[in-house]
Structure 1
Amino acid sequence: MEYGTIEREIHVDASPEVVFEVVSRPEHIAQWWSDAADFDPTPGAVGELVWGERAQVAPITVVDAQPPRLFSFRWCYPGDDVKADTALLITFELTPSDEGTTVRMTETGFREMGWTEAKLLETYNDHCSGWDTFIPRLADYIGGLVSAR
């Protein structure tokens, strides 16, 4: 098995504009993924994702923002630097579909991190499990936003 890419895809009953806001704005990300987030959602901006009471702080760099269809950023583990080619890349592609949006999330760059095979396998599996939790939470959060409007 190649441990290079994780892909998840869901359909949500919300416009691409709403979904883009939820995947690109720190105040929304802190509701479905991390406990806190601090960054400007513009290409080149740097910031952080925080879990716990700053128990884990992951630096991020926004790579691309094309409202309402694409948002991507690089991130890495606490203590590591976000580098152009050696940090994990998360991309959210948003496509209008039926009465809502198809959300396709990909995470790439695992092999480029330079980890041992054991660390690569452990991290890849951990992230697969994480996205299996967080992508449904994303859909639930979007559903709650839409029903509240």
Structure 2
Amino acid sequence: MTDTDTDTRTVTVEREIPHPPEKLWRALTQPHLIAEWLMKNDFGLDLGHRFQLRGDWGHVDCEILDVEPGRSLSYSWNHAHDDPAYALESTVTFTLEPTSAGTRLRMEQVGFRPDQKQAFGGAKGGWRIHLENLEKVVATLD
């Protein structure tokens, strides 16, 4: 079996946020802020750092894959589950682009298999809510 673009699906959410990239970067990379908009965590920004995102339902194992300070952040997003339809090995990438009004934030989660319709749908809705919460957190920063 070969890997092609049709084997997996991607959730992409873009938002224009009326704050500078520096503020968004803080909210994307500081553990206490990540906990406010996403999940409890033991995040660290070093390349290769392994961390967990924790919720009432369980946790996601992550590893920092790429960091361009103030511009992009990428980490693995691996959720183990007994049911293969819910087990997920994917990559999440945040990209920040300065605009005249603030920042264009792009979030991509790559790696949903065709049989993971529920996980894919959940991620589509979930990321929209998380990014709304991210914007609220950023609005409170000095």
**Same fold by TM-score greater than 0.5:** yes
- For 1:23 and 1:144, locate their aligned partners in 2 and report how far apart those are by CA, in whole Å: 14
Where structure 1 has 5 or more consecutive residues not aligned to the other structure, the ranges are: 81-85
Map 1:23-42; keep pairs closer than 5 Å: 23-34=28-39, 36-42=40-46
- For 2:80 and 2:19, locate their aligned partners in 1 and report how far apart those are by CA, in whole Å: 33
Counterpart residue number, 2:15: 10
Alignment partner of 1:136 out of 129, 132, 135: 132
The 8 Å contact of residues 12 and 142 in structure 1, kept in 2 or not, is answered as no
Counterpart residue number, 1:125: 121
- For 1:139 and 1:39, locate their aligned partners in 2 and report how far apart those are by CA, in whole Å: 19
The alignment status of 1:44 with 2:48, answered yes or no, reads: yes
- For 1:125 and 1:87, locate their aligned partners in 2 and report how far apart those are by CA, in whole Å: 16
What letter corresponds to residue 103 of structure 1 in structure 2?
L
Deviation at 1:87, TM superposition (A): 2.1
TM-score (normalizing by structure 2): 0.84
Map 1:94-109; keep pairs closer than 5 Å: 94-109=96-111
TM-score (normalizing by structure 1): 0.80
RMSD: 1.9
The 8 Å contact of residues 52 and 60 in structure 2, kept in 1 or not, is answered as yes
The alignment status of 1:75 with 2:80, answered yes or no, reads: no
Deviation at 1:76, TM superposition (A): 1.4
The 8 Å contact of residues 29 and 43 in structure 2, kept in 1 or not, is answered as no
Where structure 2 has 5 or more consecutive residues not aligned to the other structure, the ranges are: 1-5, 83-87
Counting matched residue pairs gives 131
Following TM superposition, the consecutive aligned residue runs of length 4 or more in structure 1 with deviations greater than 3 angstroms are none
Secondary structure of 1:44 counterpart: coil
Deviation at 1:79, TM superposition (A): 5.8
Deviation at 1:51, TM superposition (A): 0.8
Percentage of identical aligned residues? 25
The 8 Å contact of residues 58 and 75 in structure 1, kept in 2 or not, is answered as yes
The answer to which structure has the higher helix fraction is 1
What letter corresponds to residue 98 of structure 1 in structure 2?
S
Deviation at 1:21, TM superposition (A): 1.5
Secondary structure of 2:70 counterpart: coil
